[in-house]
Amino acid sequence: MALFRSKIKDLPPGVPDGSGKDDPAGPSPAGPGEAGAPSPGLRLAAGLFRLTTWPLAWLPTSLGLALGAAAGRLAFRLSPRRRRIALANIEMVRAAGHLPAGLDAEATARESFANLGRGAWEALKFFHRGLGPFWTHCRVEEGLESLREAQALAEARGSGLLIVTGHIGNWELMCQYAAARFFGRGRVHIVGRSLGSPLADALVARLRTSGGQGFIFKTGGAKAMLEVLRGGGSLGTLIDQAAIVNQEGLPLPFLGLPALTNVGPLRLARRNNSPVIMMLFRREGREHIMKVLPLLDKSADPDKKEALIADAVFLNEALSDFIRQYPDQWLWGHRRWKTPEGVAGNPASIT
């Protein structure tokens, strides 16, 4: 019966408890504040999830990855909306000359879904068994000295460190690996969006905090993010999601096309004089490989907005270059180039 008891005994602060009293879009520092008790319904759903997924976490790695990839490819066939978005995104970027002309859009999109399926199985394995089974399969390929330099600079300034990445490889697993190996328990706070479901939000928050790290909901979380940096902690955030809420995004090049980019984390880093580094992840079979880019050389433009734009453009281009190398490992099913105007005219628009 222990398996049936939800691990969600106390939700990380800010995670909706399923009672309808919490706003999933509100601030959610995973440090200060008290967690709300989950509702009985949420407890039951979480317990059922753990009970039904526990056996999957103990599958042999080769079988688990194969089943995950097969599930991803099946989702590609059975999810017409996401399939359409992925194919349209690839074809749009390719037609603009920012992907190889010979790139097979359908094969790339299908394998992107397969990568998501593998990542989902690995996430279940991590959820139940922690990092132990993955430790020897994760490594830093390049840039360890850049990471050490950034950490030393952040410590000297007492300013915290901003880490940015994208939805490529297995970003969930590798963020946990990097936090555990290079920062230590409780030193990294991961920033993420609400998924719009109390159960999904609670499970994802538990996944991201199970290694002892913190979690902050992106929307409404600026104050909590700044508190982390001012306290000398590190923030990890994804920079490749369309930022159309509250007109917060700036239209900056991403894979060569204008994409609404959230510069909020970079603004906080400038405000607190925090160093910024980018970590990028990819997979080779069961191996997970991390690349750390050199410390961001922040723009010295006296115009604050132009300086932010210059920094964001640099990071967008660095991630874009990595995606061009491993296009089948990026999240093409997200409407990265959508705009408020396009969605207003057509809710299904990708631009």
| 38 vs 6: CA distance, rounded Å | 10
Mean pLDDT of 89-114: 98
| 113 vs 119: CA distance, rounded Å | 10
Task: Give the global pTM.
Answer: 0.88
Find how far residue 217's CA is from the centre of its chain.
12
Number of C-alpha atoms within 13 angstroms, CB side, residue 158? 2
User: Does pLDDT of 35 surpass 50?
Assistant: no
Check residue 208 and give its pLDDT: 87
**3-class DSSP assignment, residue 287:** strand
β pairing state of 257-262 and 249-254: antiparallel
CATH number of 27-345: 3.40.1130
Q: Could you tell me the pLDDT band of residue 17, with boundaries at 50, 70 and 90?
A: very low
Q: Where are the domains of the chain?
A: 27-345
At CA 36, angle to CA 180 and CA 268, rounded to 5?
A: 55
β pairing state of 234-238 and 188-192: parallel
Q: Could you tell me the pLDDT band of residue 276, with boundaries at 50, 70 and 90?
A: very high
282: left (phi over 0), alpha (psi -120 to 50) or beta: beta
The average confidence (pLDDT) of the chain is 88
Check residue 37 and give its pLDDT: 60
Tens of pLDDT, residues 322-351 = 999 999 999 999 999 999 999 888 988 998
User: Does pLDDT of 32 surpass 80?
Assistant: no
Check residue 123 and give its pLDDT: 94
